[in-house]
Amino acid sequence: MKNKKLMSIVMSASLVISGIGLAPCKAMAETKNEVKVEAKQTQDNDVEKSAKELVKEARKNLNEENIKKARIAISKMPKSNVKKLYSEVLNFNIYNHLGDNISPVDELMKAFKKSQEIKSCVSQSQFTMNIKGENLSEEEKMKLAQIEQVINKLKINGKSQIKSEKQGEKVYFKSNVNIDVMGNPINFDLWEDVDVTQDTPKINMIISIPEMIKAFAPELGEKKYLVYDFDNISKLLGENGTGTQNVDFDGIMKAATKFSKNFENIFVDFLTVEDAKYNIVSRKDKKQVTIGNGVQNVQIYEIKINNDNLAEILKDAMKNEEIRTAFVEYVNDIMKLIPEQDKKELKGVDLQKQMNESMDEMIEEAIKGLDSIKDLVEYELVFDFGVNNDGYIVYQTGNMKFTADVAKLQAKIKEIKNTQLEVKEENKVQKSNSKYTFTIKYTSDLDKVNETIEFDPIPEITEKNSIKYTDLLMQAMNGGGKTEPNSQAE
C-alpha cells in the first residue's frame, strides 16, 4: 500500500516538473471519449429515425400492430422533447379513433382515467382464497388439511358507500364488512372521513368492534367503537418524546397526494408500453353481469400476466426513468420537511447521491431475486374489467394463482445455505415431488355511479361507548397497563 502511494507521488511530481506525458494522455482520453460520444449519438439517431418512421406508419395505417411497434420504438429513445413529441402525436391519433376498436389497452386506460373522476357510488365486493396440493406425502396431506380448514373456508364480503370531492382530496366512506372464518362470522362497520384540502389534514375513522374481538379483549368492556383520529395520534406521539413533535404531517400528506396523482399518469403510460411488448391486454366479448341489484351489459377487457412476462414487467418498472423520477421527487419533497435541527446533523451529507446509490443497489438485488423466484414459482394473474356504456369501470374480477414446486424450493434453499456458509451441506431433507397451488379470487362492482346516495349516519360517539386508538397506543407504551382517556371522545 505504501509503495503504491509512493509511486503515485513520484509520478505526479515527475509530470508536474517535466510537463511531459500529460498532454498526450489527455489527448488520448479525449479522443476515446469523443469516439464513445459519437458512437452513442449515432445509435440514438438510428433509434430516433426508426421511431419516427414507425410513428408515421402508425398514423398512416392506424391498427393495434402498428401502434405497438411505434410504442416499443419510442420507449427505446433517450429521454428528450422529441421522444415526448412522438408519444403525444401517436396518442393524439389513437384517442381520436378509439371508437374504431384499434387499441384495447388505450380503451381500458381511458376508462381507468374516467373512473378516477367518480364522485359517488355503492360498491360490493367478494373475496375468497384456496390452497391445494399435488403429489403430497401422507405427512404433508395431514398438515395441509389443517390449513385448508381455515384458508379454503374463508370468505370476505363488503358493501361500501363512497363520496368523493375535490379530485379525491375529500372522501367520505362507509362500509359493512362480513368475514366468515370456518363458519364463525365476524361483522363490523367502518366509517372514514378524510379531508386533505385543509392546512391540517383530517383523517377520522370509526370501527364498530366485533363481538368476537371483545371475547379476546375483555378490557374493551362495553365499548362499541374504536376511534382513530390522525391529529390526536400525531399529538400523542409528540407529547411522548417520539421525535414527531416537529414533523410536518400536513406536508407529508400533501406530498403523498401529489405523488399518488403523478404516479397514476405514469402508470397509464407505462402499461401501454408493457402491453406493446408483452400483449397483456385484450378486448373480450361484451357480457351481462350483476351490478348491485340489477344486470348491465359491459365491455370486458382482460389483463393477463404469467411467468413469461411478470418478471420482465417488474424489471421494466424498476428501471423506468419516469417512475424513478417521480419517486425521487417524492423523497425530495419529504426531505424538505425535515426539521431544522435534524438538517444540521445531515450537513455535508449528499442525500441525493446516497439515495441514487441505494436505489441502484436495491434494484440490482431485486432483479436477481425476480430471476430466482421466476424459476421457483409459477404465476398466473388474470384480471377482467367491465366498462359500461358511460365509460366507467363498474365490474372487476381477479384470479391470482401461484404454484410452488417444493423440490425447486429445497434446492434453492440449499444453494443459499452453501453460498452463505461457504461449505457444502449434505442434503439431509428428503427430496419432495409435491406442489402447492394458492389461489386468490375477488369480484367487485360499482352501482349508482355519480348518483345521490343516502349515507348511513355516523354513530354518536361518547366516552362511554368508544375507545380511542390513542388510548390503546398508550396502553401498549405502558406495557399493557390501563390508562385514563386523554381527552373527550370525538
What's the pLDDT tens digit per position in 9-67? 333 333 333 333 333 343 344 444 554 555 556 667 888 999 999 999 999 999 999 99
Per-residue pLDDT of 68-108, as tens digits, reads 999 999 999 988 889 999 999 999 999 999 989 999 999 99
| pLDDT of amino acid 369 | 79
Q: What share of the chain is helix, strand, coil (3-state, %, to 5)?
A: 50, 25, 25
Per-residue pLDDT of 314-346, as tens digits, reads 999 988 888 888 888 888 888 777 766 666 666
CA angle 94, 97, 99 (to 5 degrees): 125
What mean pLDDT comes out for the span 297-320? 92
| pLDDT of amino acid 257 | 79
| pLDDT of amino acid 11 | 36
| pLDDT of amino acid 366 | 83
| pLDDT of amino acid 215 | 80
- Go through the chain and tell me how many residues it has: 490
| pLDDT of amino acid 156 | 96
pLDDT of residue 236 exceeding 70, the answer is no
| pLDDT of amino acid 234 | 66
More confident residue, 308 or 299: 299
Distance CA 263, CA 113 (A): 12
Residues 6+ apart with CB under 8 A from 271: 105, 109, 281
Mean pLDDT of the chain: 81
- Local confidence band at 486 (pLDDT 50, 70, 90 cut-offs): very low
Per-residue pLDDT of 125-161, as tens digits, reads 999 999 999 999 999 999 999 999 999 999 999 999 9
Distance CA 378, CA 374 (A): 7
Residue 283 has, within 13 A of its CA and on its CB side, a CA count of 16
Distance CA 198, CA 194 (A): 10
| pLDDT of amino acid 78 | 87
Per-residue pLDDT of 168-188, as tens digits, reads 678 889 999 999 988 888 999
| pLDDT of amino acid 147 | 94
| pLDDT of amino acid 235 | 67
- Local confidence band at 220 (pLDDT 50, 70, 90 cut-offs): confident
| pLDDT of amino acid 167 | 66
- Determine which helix (DSSP H) or strand (DSSP E) holds 383, and give its type and residue range: strand 377-387
| pLDDT of amino acid 353 | 74
Contact 349, 385 (CB under 8 A): no
> Which domains does the chain carry?
24-102 (1.10.10), 105-477 (no CATH)
User: φ and ψ at 182, to 5 degrees?
Assistant: 55, 40
Q: What is the DSSP letter of 99?
A: G
| pLDDT of amino acid 426 | 56
More confident residue, 477 or 209: 209
Name the H helices within 384-486.
Answer: 406-421, 469-477
What mean pLDDT comes out for the span 353-363? 79
Q: Which of 75-79, 237-241, 484-488 has the lowest mean pLDDT?
A: 484-488
Distance CA 294, CA 285 (A): 20
pLDDT of residue 351 exceeding 70, the answer is no
- Local confidence band at 470 (pLDDT 50, 70, 90 cut-offs): confident
Strand partners, 418: none
pTM: 0.81
**3-class DSSP string for 115-145:** HCCCCEEEEEEEEEEEEEEECCCHHHHHHHH
| pLDDT of amino acid 260 | 85
Contact 247, 231 (CB under 8 A): no
| pLDDT of amino acid 7 | 39
pLDDT of residue 217 exceeding 70, the answer is yes
Percent of the chain with pLDDT over 70: 77
| pLDDT of amino acid 114 | 94
Distance CA 159, CA 328 (A): 37
Per-residue pLDDT of 279-296, as tens digits, reads 999 999 999 999 998 999
**Residue 91 corresponds to which cell in the numbers above?**
396518442
Phi-psi region of 21 (alpha: psi -120 to 50; beta: other; left: phi over 0): left
| pLDDT of amino acid 387 | 97
**Residue 279 corresponds to which cell in the numbers above?**
400483449
